[in-house]
Structure formats: structure tokens, C-alpha cells
Structure 1
Amino acid sequence: MKSLRWGLLAAGTIAAEFAAGVEESKHGVLEAVAARSGDRAAEFASRFEIPKCYGAYEDLLADPDVDAIYISTPHPLHGEWAIRAAEAGKHILCEKPLTMSVAEAEKVVEAARANDVFLMEAFMYRLHPQIRRLAELISCGAIGEVRAVDVAFSYNFAVPRLTDPALGGGGIFDVGCYCTSLARLVSQAATGQDVVEPEEVLGMARLDENGVDEVAFGLLRLPGGILAQLACGFQLTQDDHIRVYGSEGQLYVPKPAWIHEMRKPKTSQIVLTPEGGEPEVIEVEATQGLFAREADHVAAHIADRQAPELTWAETLANLRTLERWREAVAR
């Protein structure tokens, strides 16, 4: 497999984490970075020893030495630049959510298809060995018939983009997307289906004066008769967790793969408690950083144009769920 030459479209905090991941990857190299400011792009390029920097996103897309684009702009800009990247013939890894609506996401998918380029939404947690092991335990019947799942992802500090509707503010699309993705994954593993969507979506939220959801709770009725309880927000102090309840026991993940400390190589735990039995701690080792794993996963599936864990159908199904949750809390 030849090295994939990456161009970074935006130079923020998450772009820095991805750049460090590319440096650690086996099949990726950093070729260029673009930011709204030439000085910001130059500083970022110097930090990571990136050969080229641009003060305009258009210049990055025009670079013939760039194979793939990593998009980490504010959420509402994802769709526009993903489409423009596809039209420039660049492969695309776009931060979640792919777009702020299903309608726009469908346009991105169509652009990728029409221009024959790879496209993946950057849900890096789905590639972690911990999450793969969790799905295996569910699908092999380790806790019997799955009845319910409880997922939480939140933090208690506000950054400007999260309180601004024009920047895609709100916890549902920022971190609640992980909750919906995980809950749906549990149903997929339990039922053997490739992609599922909830049969029913209910929700409540604490909205700020701009109508942005600071704290949101959701309830899903999923295929297989599975109920899901979701909690997310950026003004909420709680322990992130995953709990899956079955007819013969339960699974508990105290530190899900999406939290910051799990992005580096380390051992994580899944606690399996059989009905009436003692808890068994299952240790899962990650030998590669999560962003390095993500970069290599893209390189491995470029020829397929889609990644098996994060197909276009998977992305659209998750966005439809998010839209329904957001509509439920806005009533």
C-alpha cells in the first residue's frame, strides 16, 4: 500500500490531533494544510513539519500532490467543502457530523459517487478495538437477548461554536451523535443487520435563549425490541459510559473509546456481568493511536470508496436519527 498524502482543510484543535495521528500512521504523510489565515496555516505547518501551507481552502484543493482531504471546519461548512473536495477529485475524511442535515449529506454522498472518490465520516471511535470487541460480545450472545442500552457523552464547558446556532451549536449534533451511533451499533450487532434506524425517537432538552440544546436526553425504540436511553450535553457533568443489558447479563464500558484519554495506545476494559454471577473484566489492548488507526483505515479502503464500519448508508441512517432527536426536543 502506498502512502496517502493528506491535506488538512482547517487548522484547529482536532486537526492537530489528526495531524499527530498521521505522523504515527503506517500509510499516511502530511502534505499540506490550509486555514482561513495564512499565518495560522504557516504556524500549524511549522508545528508538524508540513511541507506546504495555504491561506485559502481553494488552494489546498488545487494542489496536485494531495490525495486526500481531512475536513475539520465548523459543522455547517462540512457539506460545502466535502462537495468541493469531491469535485476536485480528492478523497475525503470529514469530521462528524458529515453535515447538519440529511438532505445536504445526500448531496455529499452523490458528489463522492459522481466523482469516484472515497468518503468517510470521521467517527474514529468505531475503529477502536474496544468497540469492535463490544460488538462481538453482543453478536455472540454473551449477555443473551439484548433488551436495552444506556449511553452517555457530555462535558461541562461551553465554547463559542456550541452556543451559536449559525455554527451548528448544540450537544445533540456535537456529542449526541456518538450516543446515537453506539446505540444503533448495539442493535445492529444484536440483530445481525448492517444498518438499523430507530422505530421511534423521543427527546427532551434544556435549551438556551438561542434555542441551542445545552443538555439533551433521548429515547429510542430500535430493531430487536431494544430500548436506548441517551444523554448528552456541553453543560452537564456526568460520567461517560456504555451499558448494555441482556436477558442473561450486562456489559459495562466505564471509559468509552471516544473520550480523550482513550485516543492513545492503552488497555481499556469491558465488564461482563452474567446474570447471578461475578463480574468479569475483559481487557482490550489498543496498540495504535486512534487517529493513526483512522488514517490507516482510510488508506486501506481507498479503492473501495467506502469503509466497512462507516458506509454511506450508516452515515445517513445516523443523521436521520439525529434529525428526529433534534426535532423531538424542539417541540
Structure 2
Amino acid sequence: MTELRWGLLAAGTIAAHFAAGVEESKHGVLAAVGARDAGRARDFAARFGIPKAYGSYEDLLADQDVDAVYVSTPHAMHKEWAIAAAEAGKHVLCEKPLTINATEAEEVIEAARRNDVFLMEAFMYRLHPQTRRLAELIASGAIGEVGAVDTTFSFAGNPEETGRLADPALGGGGILDVGCYCTSLARLVAQAATGADVVEPTEVSGMARLSADGVDEYATGLLRLPGDILATISCGIRLAREDGIRVFGSRGQIHVPRPAWIHPLRTPGTSEIILTPAGGLPEVIEVEATQGVFAREADHVAVHVGDRQAPELSWAETLANMRTLDRWREAVGYGRRS
């Protein structure tokens, strides 16, 4: 497909990032935006020069000039609107996590299969050249046999501005919002190290600080992955920690101080991977991104829309990650009220 006409289902902050990405993309155009409030939709449309604005999601899905829909509602609404988009015959790019649990994810995937439409979970960091280079280094044996990976994505959100993240009814908590990147990355490392297409942990444990409503404010997990790789993963919405990735092998280690999911790396530019051989000096590997991650994501959908799945973010990949998140949340006692 040379041109994919996008409809944005919701008009929040992440939708604005994606809209800017579509403008930068090679194969996408902004066709319409839908929001629960018609005025909000009109303001968003005016901001990005989008020709159509709708005051309901249903009207957006009924637009015959929309080929693909970007779903960026709160987590708990992903299932409903991803399925509705598929049933309307639209291709679907749905923000991470695809749903709030693996059972719901299976329902969304089945809807895409039944209606013969493309579906991808929007883990934009997986398409960044930095992430791809990291996987290549591990697969090439640059640090020998991988034994462990540590990764963190944690921030201290303002409760007034991030209220949805504290609401269990909306799928709140750090594990679903940003911990999903950590599980995805740890699994990617194990996949690169073992040569497997998709892996899941054989063991999952964890601890968290829970709010009075049982939502994880910050959490740490421990995964045992195939190849006997141990992963320590940390996330949070109420505690700022040092984000990063470290991979430890028998012949050295890799450090990514600024992972591709952080805001500064969403635009074109250079990032670093630091490779330190055992007993040697660090080598800084610069990775150049000539296109923003959201533009890259929009183009990735357009290129693979006929395949119905994206090779790097297949349905099997999404389900493996969702099952891992389910197990992590269960381990920390998610939903247990004080």
C-alpha cells in the first residue's frame, strides 16, 4: 500500500505524537479524528490539518475514507474499540498494552482474524534502530553467552495529571503502563540470545507498592527466561528511577543508558549503546535514527498491512507479553485493597 488513510480514535497526548508521526511518514495521511467531545475533536483536527472531526468513535469507524485506526483510549477501553474497528473493516494499530490481560488480547486477535484486517500492538520502541542494533549485538555473540538483563522504566507522575494511571477500572498501574516495555525488552534479549522467535518466562515473581485501591505504584519483577537468563525488571508511576538497559554476558556487557522508549529518542537523532568486553574498555556504538519512531511505526503498518501481522510485533509476540504481564501483576497482588 502506497498510502494509508488514518483515523485517530481518541484525541489525547499520545494521539498527538502519532499524528505528528503520520505527517512525517512516507505512506500515511491523516484522514479523520474522533473524540467523545466534538469540540475537542475539532480543535485536534485544526491543530494537525485533519479534514474530518467526529464527536463519537462510532462516527469515525463509519467513515469509508478511513483505512486504518489508531486506538489510544485508556487501557481498559482498548479491547472494545479495537474489536469495533476490526468489525468495521479497519486495520488496527492499538496502543500498548493491547488490552488489560491476555484473555482480552486473544479476543482482539480473533476479531482481527475473523474480519481479515491488520492488527499490531503499538510498541514503537521495537522498531527503533537502537533496539534492532541491540538485538543484533546479542545475537552475534558480542558479549558471549547472556546470563542476565536488568531494565527499568519508572517515573514520578503528578497524581492530578495522571489520575487514570491510579484507577483500577481504567487498567491503572505501572506494570501495564510502562512495565510492559520492560517485559518486552527482557523477552527480546532472550529471543536474540537463544534464536527463538518468541519466548516466555518459565518463572515470574515480584513485589510492589500498592495503592489503597490495589494499583501498583512501583514494582520490581524477576523473570527466569529460556537459556537460563535472569531478568530484573522495574517500573513505576509514582517513583522516579534511573531508566536504562543492562545485559550481562560471559564475555562482557552492554549498557543502553537512554532506551528507545524515552521521549528524547522519539525524534530523529543519535543514541548510544555502550559495549564493554570483559577486562576491556567501553566502546560507544552510535546509532542513527533518520525518522521519528511514530513515523516509522505508521510506515511499518503500511508496509505490512497486507500481511495482517507485523513480523517484529506478531500476534504471538503480543500474547506472550500479555501473559507475562498477567503473571507479574498476579505475583505482586494487583487489585488487593488495603
TM-score, L = length of structure 1: 0.99
User: What is the CA-CA distance between 1:2 and the residue it aligns to?
Assistant: 1.8
Q: Which residue in the other structure is 1:253 paired with? A: 256
Deviations 1:91-138 (A, max 9, x none): 000000000011111010000001000000000000000000000000
Q: Which residue in the other structure is 1:314 paired with? A: 317
User: What is the CA-CA distance between 1:29 and the residue it aligns to?
Assistant: 0.1
Matched position secondary structure for 1:221: strand
Matched position secondary structure for 2:152: strand
2:236 matched to 1:233?
yes
Deviations 1:10-35 (A, max 9, x none): 00000000000000000000000000
2:197 matched to 1:194?
yes
Q: Which residue in the other structure is 1:169 paired with? A: 172
User: What is the CA-CA distance between 1:82 and the residue it aligns to?
Assistant: 0.5
Matches within 5 A, 1:142-291: 142-157=142-157, 158=159, 159-291=162-294
Q: Which residue in the other structure is 1:124 paired with? A: 124
Matches within 5 A, 1:5-154: 5-154=5-154
> Equivalents in 1 of 2:273, 2:91: separation in Å?
35
Give the AA of the match of 1:205. Answer: A
Q: Which runs of 5+ in 2 are unaligned?
A: none
> Equivalents in 1 of 2:264, 2:279: separation in Å?
32
Give the AA of the match of 2:69. Answer: I
User: What is the CA-CA distance between 1:239 and the residue it aligns to?
Assistant: 1.3
Question: Root-mean-square deviation (CA), in Å?
Answer: 0.6
Matched position secondary structure for 1:194: coil
Moved more, 229-238 or 309-318: 229-238
> Equivalents in 2 of 1:236, 1:201: separation in Å?
22
User: What is the CA-CA distance between 1:244 and the residue it aligns to?
Assistant: 0.1
> Equivalents in 1 of 2:331, 2:241: separation in Å?
23
Deviations 1:301-329 (A, max 9, x none): 00000001100000000000000000000
Give the AA of the match of 1:81. Answer: W
Number of equivalenced pairs: 331
Deviations 1:264-295 (A, max 9, x none): 00100000000000000000000000100000
Give the AA of the match of 1:167. Answer: L
